Amino acid sequence: MHTTGAIVGYDFAEKDLAHIQNILGHLEHTAGKDSAAATGAGISLHYWRARVRTLLAMPLLPIHIEKQAKALLARLDRLEDSRRCATPG
């Protein structure tokens, strides 16, 4: 059995989740400050959600990575909800 590829994949997944977490921190920090940016940010949220879901689709994903990914999806949900509430309409 060849596990080196899986280990490299999981290392990438952890680094990608850390990157996404940093992006979400920035988006959460700037949420509601610029209504013009909020419109374009909705598209960004879909992009980041797709990246997290791609990582969740990895076979035999370690549980700690799965938990991190699901926590990021929950943060994306909250951010999306807060933008929806802040959008006049």
> Is residue 50 in some structural domain?
yes
- Provide long-range contacts, Cβ within 8 A and 24+ apart, for 9-12: 9/58, 10/58, 10/61, 10/62, 10/65
> Is residue 80 in some structural domain?
yes
Query: What average pLDDT does the segment 71-76 reach?
Result: 96
> Is residue 4 in some structural domain?
no
Q: What is the pLDDT of residues 5-60, one digit of tens each?
A: 677 788 999 999 999 999 999 888 887 666 545 555 556 899 999 999 999 999 98
> Is residue 84 in some structural domain?
yes
Place of tokens 């909705």: 42
> Is residue 82 in some structural domain?
yes
Q: What is the residue range of 49's domain?
A: 35-89
CA 40/CA 16 separation, integer angstroms: 22
> Is residue 62 in some structural domain?
yes
> Is residue 74 in some structural domain?
yes
Q: How many structural domains does the chain have?
A: 1
Query: What average pLDDT does the segment 60-87 reach?
Result: 90
